Amino acid sequence: MSIDNETESKYPKELKNVKLEYAYIGLLLENPKSISKYYLSFEDSQFSDPMAMNLYKSILFTEGGRYAPENIKRDFSYPKTSEEIYALKQKLKQEAIRTNYSIEAVYTKIKKLFLLKKYYIKAPTKQFQQEVLEIKSYKRYKQMTIEELESIISQIGIKRGISEGRLNSNATDFLLEGENSLTSGISLPFPILTEVFKGLRVGETMAFAMPSNSGKSRFTINLAAHIAFVEKKKVLIISNEMSEEKMKLCLITTILNNPEMQQEFGQKIRKSEGEILEFKFRPDDKKKVKTDKKGFIIKEDGETQEKFVERLKKYSTEFRQVIAATDWLENQQDTPICFMHVSDCTNDDLYKIILDYYYKEGVEYVFYDTLKNDIQHIGDGEEIKKTATVLSNIAQKYKMFIGSTLQLLESTTAPINLTINDMAASRTVKEVLDTLCLFKQINNQSYADYEYSEIEESKQYKDIKAYEDTDVRYYACVVDKNRAGAKPKLLFKLNLAYNEWFELGHLRMKQKLKWGCKIYAEDIFTKKEFF
């Protein structure tokens, strides 16, 4: 049972298991009829040991000759025979009887191993070989079926139009470059929605719909950061909208301005995405450095980025706080936010991508930004439903949570009155989802028409406060579907420049008399207050 040098050199040690090969041979000898189901084609017969290969061929033509498929046997040459081979067969058969291994379990292991060998040898580049080899070390490799492994291997070959990375990797370097090309689930960063949905639950799908340019991707990042760095769960974001660089910048902005994250990295700071992008930082003492009209340290003529960074470290506590935050972000490798940007993505591609990260990284929380048509069926609303169905099936089968963003129409519907009819081309997608939230900005001229309360059914409702800061917005959030129960209407205050999202409470229209006069929400006969 020796391996010749030529065969030895084909495969790395991680793909060799001679003991498994001989266990498989022994089980076929114990029950030759089993080869009718548990056979290996010529292409898949990647035995490390030439003797094991010869024994397998021998079984095909002798002991298992009546049972092996004829189309399989045609590709093999006739085996060598000898007394040594006969004796080895008897030994392996007795070992199989003694060990009582399951032929199905052993076949699955060897078929998976041989598939990796086959594609390793066929790989056109060393990088491709390395990616095939890495599959063997996936956290859930042992749980994979043969079909799932084939799907994951095929994923390696469809990376055209796809870039991937980890949003929290190299966060500091990215910043310093200066130019930046049915049990309760885990919590959301919003207490009321957490209670309403019973948390984000594996096995379910959720969608958040907003009009174009309303912050769908930023909302996704906000949720992903909470899941990864507060709930300590691995996350995958698949995006056909924002690039990795834009997503990374948004993530840095999010953790800087989020009180939950600030507690983690030990700094309290407020910094807009624009200031981070433009490398604008305030000095501790304006007398020691040149500043612009807004008080930010000016980069001197001819000053390299490296020299500028050193000056900022010396003169700006604000800058040092940001670096402390990005250093902390970069160190969160146990719960990464994995990222993949896709273009021309089919439903099949989407399935393979998610499955790959499920097995490779152990990811259980996935966001797809934005849920669109399979590229083969652009403009067909029913096809969006099919994509949503694919995601739902994955969530249920693999016990994952999958969230996605959807597009709302630019309609005249009042934000608090949003329904599924305000969806773009995807109204039927609601049938597939477990949860659906519709978001729309409240026009500042309409603030007086609304009021909100932290507690539902409260008599203490508040007016919406107007802000001079034009970046501050108010969104109505209408829970249009919730298999967990309640479907409230909520008020959110947000600032996209800082990627801040605050859940203020339950939203309602102010009550009106039939003749059109507005009254306070309190009982008219008690308060007697008109305006």
pLDDT in tens, 347-366: 999 999 999 999 999 999 99
Name the band, by pLDDT with cuts 50, 70 and 90, for residue 173: confident
H/E stretch holding 366 reads strand 365-369
Name the band, by pLDDT with cuts 50, 70 and 90, for residue 526: very low
How far apart, in whole angstroms, are the C-alpha atoms of residue 380 and residue 34?
47
Write the class of the CATH domain 171-260+331-509.
alpha beta
Average the pLDDT over 329-335 and give the result.
94
pLDDT in tens, 390-413: 999 999 999 999 999 999 988 899
pLDDT in tens, 50-64: 999 999 999 999 999
Strand residue runs (E) in 379-528: 401-407, 435-441, 450-453, 462-463, 472-482, 489-495, 500-509
What is the reported pLDDT for 81? 86
Buried b (16+ CB within 10 A) or exposed e, 299-325: beeeeeeeebbebbeebbebbbbbbeb
CB 159 within 8 A of CB 327: no
Name the band, by pLDDT with cuts 50, 70 and 90, for residue 158: low
Question: C-alpha distances in angstroms, 130 versus 9, 156, 354?
Answer: 15, 11, 20
pLDDT beyond 80 at 520: no
What is the reported pLDDT for 509? 95
Tell me the two tokens of residue 379.
């403009």
Cβ neighbours around 54 below 10 Å, total = 18
Find, among 347, 358, 445, the residue nearest to 397 by Cα.
358
Sequence-ordered alpha helix ranges (H) in 157-243: 171-176, 191-197, 216-229
Q: What is the 3-state secondary structure (H, E, C) of 283-312?
A: CCCHHHCCECCCCCECCCCCCCHHHHHHHH
Residue for token pair 């669109």: 372
What is the reported pLDDT for 396? 94
How far apart, in whole angstroms, are the C-alpha atoms of residue 118 and residue 102?
24
Residue for token pair 């970046």: 471
Q: Give the residues across from 500 on adjacent strands.
A: 495
Domain ranges of the chain: 5-136, 171-260+331-509
pLDDT beyond 90 at 183: no
Average the pLDDT over 161-178 and give the result.
74
How far apart, in whole angstroms, are the C-alpha atoms of residue 155 and residue 165?
16
What is the reported pLDDT for 157? 57
Instruction: Provide the whole-model pTM.
Output: 0.78
Q: What is the 3-state secondary structure (H, E, C) of 13-50?
A: HHHCCHHHHHHHHHHHHHCHHHHHCCCCCCCCCCCCCH
How far apart, in whole angstroms, are the C-alpha atoms of residue 373 and residue 468?
40
Tell me the two tokens of residue 278.
């433009």
Residue for token pair 């300590």: 232
| Percent of the chain's residues with pLDDT above 70 | 89
What is the reported pLDDT for 141? 94
Find, among 402, 489, 508, the residue nearest to 451 by Cα.
508
pLDDT beyond 90 at 517: no
Q: Kindly report which listed range (176-180, 384-388, 499-503) carries the lowest average pLDDT score.
A: 176-180
Sequence-ordered alpha helix ranges (H) in 230-361: 244-257, 259-265, 273-277, 305-315, 317-330, 347-361
Find, among 262, 9, 254, the residue nearest to 121 by Cα.
9
Query: What is the chain's mean pLDDT, rounded?
Result: 88
Name the band, by pLDDT with cuts 50, 70 and 90, for residue 162: low
Cβ neighbours around 267 below 10 Å, total = 19
CB 234 within 8 A of CB 359: no
Edge-to-edge strand ranges of the sheet holding 365-369: 162-166, 337-342, 235-239, 365-369, 401-407, 205-210, 435-441, 472-482, 489-495, 500-509, 450-453, 462-463
What is the reported pLDDT for 528? 39
Find, among 109, 96, 147, the residue nearest to 20 by Cα.
109
pLDDT in tens, 117-128: 999 988 878 888
Q: Give the residues across from 206 on adjacent strands.
A: 403, 435
DSSP string, 398-423: HT-EEEEEEEBP-----GGG--GGGB
